[in-house]
Chains A and B, each alone.
Chain A
Amino acid sequence: MSTLEIRNLQVSVDTENGAVEILKGVDLTIKSGETHAIMGPNGSGKSTLAYSIAGHPKYTITGGSVTLDGADVLEMSVDERAKAGLFLAMQYPVEVPGVSVSNFLRTAATALRGEAPKLRTWVTEVKEAMDALSIDPSFAQRNVNEGFSGGEKKRHEIMQLELLKPKIAILDETDSGLDVDALRIVSEGVNRAKDANNLGVLLITHYTRILRYIKPDFVHVFANGKVVEEGGPELADKLEAEGYAEYVGS
């Protein structure tokens, strides 16, 4: 049983015109087995929240705290956060030229498990994970995300989620750019990870269609750098019908 606690998190980015405050006091608690959806307008700071929890160097934490089972996440390096059990499926997964998917996955699994996985079982494990997400086996030899289509990148993220078995996963617009079949395949992957590891999920999305597959326990409305409303699954339907007008502006 794990708990990710975000308290009054304030984050800024450095720009040519000085620091710009983006997160203005975010409070969220995500426990194992729970699924939280975050919905909010473009530019409201959702990805900033995701990256800040994962430790992206571009963001400066100016206040607040993030803890995982009481341990100070903000004090950890990026890889330590992953080792502590956090996972971020990125909105824009990064291409790493010259590094094959298979080499990348094995290096990551070795780091996270503390020892290199046994070759025989590992090959099967990867093959099954790829099959489950309808990823062609040839992708193992391709360079990480290089030349992948938008949807292929997202499937590759969820394949990692299943292989690396984190405690809490943040999915940043994993549904964007997916065709109907891929949306179902990817959602099933997330649900498998939830069932297998009692995964806690923070799911950032613009659309309710993914929420038909991955049922949220809580829906949070994010606007102007903080959570402005919280509710159950019905809140998502209201947002889809009415938009964010009531939450933005003055």
Chain B
Amino acid sequence: MSVLTSNILVPHGREEAWRFTPLNRLKGLHDGSAAIATHRSLSLKSASVPGVTFERVSRELLPSLSTTDDAIMNRVREFSSDVAVLKIASNSELSEPILLNRESFDLTSAEYSRVLIHIGSNARATVVASNTGNTLLAEEIEFKVESGASLTFVTLQEWDSQTVHVAKHHAIVDKDANFKSITVTIGGSVVRLLPTVEFTGPGADAQLLGVYFATTGQFFEHRIFVDHCVPQAKSRVNYKGALSGEKAHTVWIGDVFIRANAEGTDTYELNRNLLLTDGARADSVPNLEIETGEIVGAGHASTTGRFDDEQLFYLMSRGISIEDARRLVVRGFFNEIISEISDSEVQVRLMERIDSELVKAGA
């Protein structure tokens, strides 16, 4: 067990990376004052298949693959004694998704969890991580996507109302490999996710998709960073959020960095927010830093709007009630991303949760 003395700087809230996050609601995750949990809530749910292993490795044997200056991630590295490693062998073609489950109902201590998802060259797989319960979690997931591999990662934040979840999901994507993430955040008190991508070979491709729906009092932050540090890589970011109710607050930061050597970069990022009621706040900050002009394309867009009266009128003019019309429009808004999830049961479950959040919020 780690000692609590640490030289990790405690964020105060004025730092750029923390300026939106309500530190006082993190229950001690940010300053290390939370008691350290001994449980490990992550498990492999799907049946074992050839070419796939899931095991815990002592952290000394498996140092982190990336660097971080994030205070909570540094605590994760210091406090977690082992690393959960999901390994998919080279050339595996998995027809069924690998299901990871995280469920915990402990609000008295904080779980610090390190995960590595490693997919060998030319393998293809989908990993679906479901998060449920009421808990305190600081999590670092690193993805190593070897050359020519293709990994889809679906992460579902279906937490109960008191969860505090802070995580970095960092993908290292090698030559000609594809990484696609679909991040869904619809539950929890405070959820702060850092989906980040680092390219290590030309021809790499990353697609970061996300939806979030915050209702009264919920704070959901998605802070994306794509580092185009190699030539000829492509990235697409598309996050859609809906907000409803007093003090529902979402933050979306999309940082894309195109370094001087990243010729042939092709990137586009998009964030759309739908404000369903007054009293909610959506912050949306796309950020593009470009050090070379030799690129294929780079762009971003961000919109925050309300229900489109014309759409509601059209639906209602066919007899559809205002509630059902809103439900259709919100479902339609999210459908672009949710429909990317191949598992139709998960799609249905998420849409039903979105419906019930909508009803709860009385939008």
List A residues at the B interface (Cβ < 8 Å): 54-58, 77-79, 81-83, 87-88, 90, 93-99, 103-104, 107-108, 111-112, 143-144, 160, 164
Contacts and interface: CB of A to CB of B under 8 A. Distances in A.
B319 A108 contact: yes
A98 B332 contact: yes
Contacts of B317: 54-55, 78-79, 81-82, 87-88, 90
Contacts of B318: 82, 104, 108, 111-112, 160, 164
Q: Is the interface of B mostly helix, strand, loop or mixed?
A: helix
Nearest to A88: B317
Contacts of B336: 97-98
Interface stretch (B136-144, B183-191, B285-293, B305-313): B305-313
Given A99-B331, A103-B328, A107-B324, A94 B319 contact: no
Nearest to A51: B313
Q: Is the interface of A mostly helix, strand, loop or mixed?
A: mixed
Interface of B: 309-311, 313-322, 324-325, 328-329, 331-336
Contact of B314 (A57, A90, A164): A90
A78 B313 CA distance: 7
Contacts of B334: 98
A143 B309 CA distance: 18
A92 B112 CA distance: 55
Given A57-B309, A96-B329, A99-B328, A82 B335 contact: no
Contacts of A97: 332-333, 336
B335 A98 contact: yes
Contact of A79 (B319, B331, B335): B319
Given A79-B317, A97-B332, 6 more contacts: A54-B313, A55-B313, A95-B311, A96-B314, A112-B319, A164-B318
Nearest to B330: A98
A82 B328 contact: no
B316 to A, nearest CB: 4
B333 A104 contact: no
A99 B320 contact: no
A13 B328 CA distance: 28
14 contacts: A54-B313, A56-B313, A57-B309, A77-B322, A78-B316, A82-B318, A96-B314, A96-B315, A98-B331, A98-B336, A99-B331, A107-B328, A111-B320, A143-B332
Contact of B313 (A94, A98, A103, A111): A94
Contacts of B333: 97-98
A53 to B, nearest CB: 10
Contacts of A112: 318-319
A90 B327 CA distance: 22
A58 B309 CA distance: 9
Contacts of A58: 309
Contacts of A93: 314
A55 B194 CA distance: 46
Contacts of B310: 94
Nearest to A98: B332
Nearest to B339: A98
A111 B331 CA distance: 18
A81 B329 CA distance: 20
